[in-house]
Amino acid sequence: MVKIQKLPSGQLVITLPKLLAEYEGLKKGMELDFKKHKDGFILEIKRNSSEADNAKIINKKRKG
């Protein structure tokens, strides 16, 4: 379950389950883009080329 938490500063933080973050290759400090979608939104992972390559390698190792 994804949760939204409010910090004492008033900033909102999205918390993802550790398993989901590991599966997607997410690391602390990575950025996500929000895109509006019908009744909600879609999160798109912003990756530079080296991060994308690393994520592909990690996902290949999991599959085979």
Give the pLDDT of residue 10.
95
CB 25 within 8 A of CB 16: no
Q: Give the pTM.
A: 0.53
Give the pLDDT of residue 49.
46
DSSP state of 29: T
* pLDDT tens digits along 11-48: 998 888 999 888 888 888 888 888 888 888 888 888 76
More confident residue, 48 or 49: 48
